[in-house]
């Protein structure tokens, strides 16, 4: 059995988020998945409130360090073998645009999913 490289805390109620999460699961990514929209989810491990846990993607690495938002995506991509993507997205010229895109996506992901007919 492969040792996990970290844990991703994702909003299972987000249809667009589920596209990537489900692909990672199909690929057999060696990470743990936690759905923060599940009944009874406690965000204490993340050190944030429930609203923040559901709004931002969170990643906890093997050392227990918590990352949020765009940085959590970069860490998740590294851990799941998408190293090239993480390097490009983390490049100093790309990162500011990526962070802006992530904030916009976080705000509009549910309405966009609804427009696309995804539940």
CATH number of the domain that 41 lies in?
Answer: 3.40.30
Instruction: Report if residue 1 sits inside a domain.
Output: no
pLDDT, residue 115, reads 83
DSSP alpha helix (H) spans, 1-119: 15-26, 50-55, 70-79, 83-90, 95-115
Burial 54-87 (b: 16+ CB within 10 A, else e): bbbbbbbbeeeebbbbbbbbbbbbbbbebeeebe
How many domains, in total, are found in the chain? 1
CA distance 95 to 109: 20
Instruction: Report if residue 11 sits inside a domain.
Output: yes
Per-residue pLDDT tens for 81-103?
A: 999 999 999 999 999 999 999 99
Q: Which domain holds residue 73?
A: 6-115
Q: Which residues of the chain have pLDDT under 50?
A: 1-2
């Amino acid at each position: 059995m492969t040792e996990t490289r970290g844990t991703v805390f994702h909003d299972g109620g987000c249809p667009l988020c589920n596209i990537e999460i489900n692909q990672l699961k199909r690929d057999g990514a060696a990470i743990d998945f936690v759905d923060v929209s599940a009944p009874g989810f406690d965000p204490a491990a993340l050190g944030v409130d429930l609203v923040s846990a559901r709004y931002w993607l969170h990643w906890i690495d093997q050392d227990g360090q918590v990352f949020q938002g765009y940085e959590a995506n970069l860490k998740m991509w590294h851990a799941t073998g998408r190293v090239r993507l993480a390097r490009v997205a983390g490049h100093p010229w790309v990162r500011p645009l990526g962070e802006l895109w992530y904030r916009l996506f976080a705000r509009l992901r549910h309405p966009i999913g609804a427009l696309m007919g995804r539940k």
